[in-house]
């Protein structure tokens, strides 16, 4: 799964905090990113085959899945399990995106 995630070419853009100390090998993180990548691949392959009547249901279904996975990512704990009394100062915010074929982020 880790190799597949690497091949999906996700990029991490730090917004707040120090992401260099995070363990990106966290199993829950890898699984969630893998699921997002697979969902993206599925949509990319099949979106052109969806007729206009099914399009709304298709987007609604995948939007719900996307929101669940995004919430799961937001609630992951990368730390050591030790409660940090200064947790607010150690908050990390990052943007995770998949590069397009020409090296540009997908919108």
| Dihedrals phi, psi of 26, to nearest 5 degrees | -50, 125
- Per DSSP, what are the bridge partners of residue 78? none
SS3 8: coil
Instruction: Using a cut of 0.95, tell me whether the model's pTM lies above it.
Output: no
Give the pLDDT confidence of 18-68 residue by residue, as tens digits: 877 777 788 888 898 899 889 888 888 888 888 888 888 888 888 899 889
Neighbours of 14 (CB within 10 A): 13
């Amino acid at each position: 799964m880790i190799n597949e995630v690497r091949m999906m070419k996700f990029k991490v853009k730090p917004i707040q905090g120090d992401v260099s100390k995070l363990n990106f090998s966290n199993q829950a993180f890898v699984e969630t990113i893998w699921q997002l990548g697979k969902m993206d691949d599925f949509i990319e392959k099949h979106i052109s085959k969806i007729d206009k009547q099914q399009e709304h249901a298709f987007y609604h279904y995948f939007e719900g899945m996307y929101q669940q996975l995004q919430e799961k990512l937001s609630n992951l704990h990368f730390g050591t399990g030790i409660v940090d009394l200064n947790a607010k100062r150690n908050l990390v915010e990052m943007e995770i995106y998949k590069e397009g074929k020409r090296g540009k982020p997908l919108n």
